[in-house]
Amino acid sequence: MRIKVKFHSLLRLYLGFGEMILELPDRQDITVRELIDELNLRVGKELKNKLLDGDEIKKGTMVLLNGKNILHLKKLDTVVQDGDVVVFFPPGGGG
């Protein structure tokens, strides 16, 4: 399976890139929790600490699966499938 993963704003700044295609040839699907573990292994940085607070998405970070906020799906247990797009970003609160 192939998943497009996008990082915006401060997450892109931290990682040094804004988009990657994650190839998982042995998988049919993956949860967001597992996806973050996989990304953490591949990017060579402490991405997991940036995204998670314990076993929850860190306050202030949004995760969209095909445009839907995963907090309205199954949170970290939300299943990601082939062709899906996952976006991580912290919205700007200032005005």
Partner 1 sequence: MKSELSMFQRQIELLGTDCQSKIADTVILVAGIGGLGSVVAESLVRFGVQKIYIVDNGLIDAPDLNRQILYTYKDIGRPKVLVAKERLSSINPSCEIVPMDEKISESFELPNDVDGVADCLDNFADRFTLAELAWNKGIFLVHGGINGFWGQITSIVPNKSPKMKDLFAGVDEERQQVQVIMPTSGIVALLQSLEIVKLICGIEPNLIGKLLLIDLLNYDFDKIEV
By CB under 8 A, residue 92 contacts partner 1: yes
By CB under 8 A, residue 12 contacts partner 1: yes
Nearer CB in complex with partner 1: 41/74: 74
By CB under 8 A, residue 90 contacts partner 1: yes
| Of the candidate residues 28, 44, 55, 72, the single one contacting partner 1 (CB under 8 A) | 72
Cα 81-26-57 angle, rounded to 5 deg: 45
The residues, any chain, with a CB within 8 Å of residue 12's CB and separated by 6 or more, are 18
Query: Would you give the DSSP letter of residue 91?
Result: -
Please give the residue ranges that form the binding site for partner 1 (CB under 8 A): 6, 8-10, 12-13, 18, 57, 59-62, 64, 66-69, 71-72, 87, 89-95
